[in-house]
Amino acid sequence: MAEINKQKFDLEERTAKFGEEVIRFVKAIPKNEITSPLINQLVRSSTSVGANYCEADDAESKKDFTHKLKICKKEARETKHWLRMFVVYDPNLKDEVAKLWNEARELNLIFNAIVRKTENKNCDY
């Protein structure tokens, strides 16, 4: 049971899996003048969440840690935007996009909570 809880709260793994799921999603999207830029933006923002979390995990200071987490938060929020655009492009993608959008939302909320806690002057990172 402890291993399951560890996996559930392992943000490095969770953010990597999120990027992987987005990549799988876009591989099935036909490429055209509308989808190509959307795909590019979505892949960049969604995979940036995990990359910046790895950088935050190796931060050199509390300020650096907080800065990287703020980037994670922004990238997760941006990912929600690009996912929304895919539903505009093709409403049939709504259910598949909803799962990814919810994960981006959860990650955004998690990083927001960590940033708030970290910025508390009594918190030692």
Task: List pLDDT tens digits, range 79-110.
Answer: 999 999 999 999 999 999 999 999 999 999 99
Kindly give, in sequence order, each residue whose CB lies less than 8 Å from that of residue 48, ignoring residues fewer than 6 positions away: 71, 75
Residue 9 pLDDT = 65
pLDDT band for position 6 (cuts 50, 70, 90): low
Average pLDDT over residues 68-74: 97
Predicted TM-score (pTM) of the model is 0.87
For residue 52, the SS3 value is helix
Residue 123 pLDDT = 52
Q: Which residue's structure tokens are 């650096």? A: 64
Is residue 5 exposed (0-12), middle (13-18) or buried (19+ Cβ within 10 Å)?
exposed
Kindly give, in sequence order, each residue whose CB lies less than 8 Å from that of residue 88, ignoring residues fewer than 6 positions away: none
Task: List pLDDT tens digits, range 23-59.
Answer: 999 999 999 999 999 999 999 999 999 999 999 989 9
In this prediction, what percent of the chain has a pLDDT beyond 70? Answer: 89
Instruction: Say how many C-beta atoms besides its own lie within 10 A of residue 98's C-beta.
Output: 12
Q: Give domain 35-125's CATH number out of 1.10.760.10, 1.10.357.10, 3.40.50.2300, 1.20.1440.60.
A: 1.20.1440.60
Dihedral angle, C-alpha 66, 72, 75, 77, nearest 10 °: -90
Domain spans in the chain, listed from the N-terminal domain onward:
35-125
